[in-house]
Amino acid sequence: MNSVNLETIWVFGDQLNRDIGALRLARPDTHQILMVESRAKVASRRWHIQRAHFIVASMRRFADELREEGFSVDYQRADSMRDGVRRHQEMCAPSQISVTEPNSFAARELVASLDVHVELSDQFLCHPSLFEEFAGTRKTFKMEDFYRWQRKRLNILMDGDTPVGGQWNFDEENREPPPKTGHDRWPQPVYAQLDEIDAEVMRDVSETTWGAVPDGTWATSRRGALERLDFFVKELLPMFGEHEDAMLQSNWHLAHSLLSPYLNIGLLLPGEVVNAAQEAFRSGKVPINSAEGFIRQVIGWRE
């Protein structure tokens, strides 16, 4: 397919979801995709290899998924983000470049300096414009106030106008230290077999990274991220609450969700994560202190 003069959807490496912003309504017959893997970004500091691998492998895998859907994907491996956009414009002559609002300040500055159309981001449940509504004329800001506002606005763990269980949070029940014995009560995390994409990425980033090489702990596809969400909700969320702040030298994961990386790059969206936890509570599979404690981390602290 001739991609010249199609509208381009520029996808950043932390926007890897078909249902985000500018990409949601894109179609292969009217849109092409631009993704830029910036060598300057990869080399900007000495990243842990698992972090670099996670982001780059997820980007390359998402590009392949879009190609399978029929999109023409221009995956630029460029010296910088700006250089990648320039090369795309020269090669593909897009009728317009659209991009979802970036998440980082640096990316926002870059986008603001270019002639591109910006779509509002929905990677967070509370857009900055909505936060202004919450802030209003407040002189002090507390996360607990924001969290309760989010609960009411989104109708999460609510019975009408009152919180489920009669209280807003169950922190008092969620500060138990981990037991000194029985560390094996927590299931091992889900692991995936590494493939050729993983091996290629590890070769590409090995010279500028450090640390233990990836072992399949971190999924690099939406399918893998959804599998880990399902595993957490079914196997770990019931035990999450009372030990949500606990750590052990002999067990690095306990009942922690390990879902933050997927939320951070778009492989999971906060709404679907919260809905899964809320549904598990509503169906009697998870106690209120576990569901509330986890949901507070997502719609409160993270947002």
pLDDT tens digits for 147-201? Answer: 999 999 999 999 999 999 999 999 888 888 877 765 667 889 999 999 999 999 9
Question: In this model, does residue 1 exceed pLDDT 50?
Answer: no
β-strand 162-163 against 158-159: which pairing, if any? antiparallel
Kindly state the DSSP code that residue 297 receives in the 8-state scheme: I
Question: In this model, does residue 114 exceed pLDDT 60?
Answer: yes
Q: CA–CA separation, 211 vs 48, rounded Å? A: 6
What is the overall mean pLDDT for the chain? 94
Considering the chain, what percentage of its residues have pLDDT values greater than 70? 97
Q: What is the pLDDT of residues 47-73, one digit of tens each?
A: 999 999 999 999 999 999 999 999 999
42 band by pLDDT with thresholds 50, 70 and 90: confident
Q: CA–CA separation, 48 vs 53, rounded Å? A: 9
Q: Residue 268 has what pLDDT?
A: 99
Give Cβ neighbours of residue 148 (< 8 Å, ≥ 6 apart). Answer: 163, 168
Question: In this model, does residue 249 exceed pLDDT 90?
Answer: no
Question: What is the pTM for the complete model shown?
Answer: 0.94
Contact, 294 vs 240, CB < 8 A? yes
Give Cβ neighbours of residue 23 (< 8 Å, ≥ 6 apart). Answer: 9, 11, 15, 17, 33, 100
Average pLDDT value for residue range 242-265: 89
Question: In this model, does residue 208 exceed pLDDT 60?
Answer: yes
Go through the domains of the chain in sequence order and give each one's CATH number: 7-119 (3.40.50.620), 128-301 (1.25.40.80)
Cα angle vertex 172, ends 166, 173, to 5°?
Answer: 85
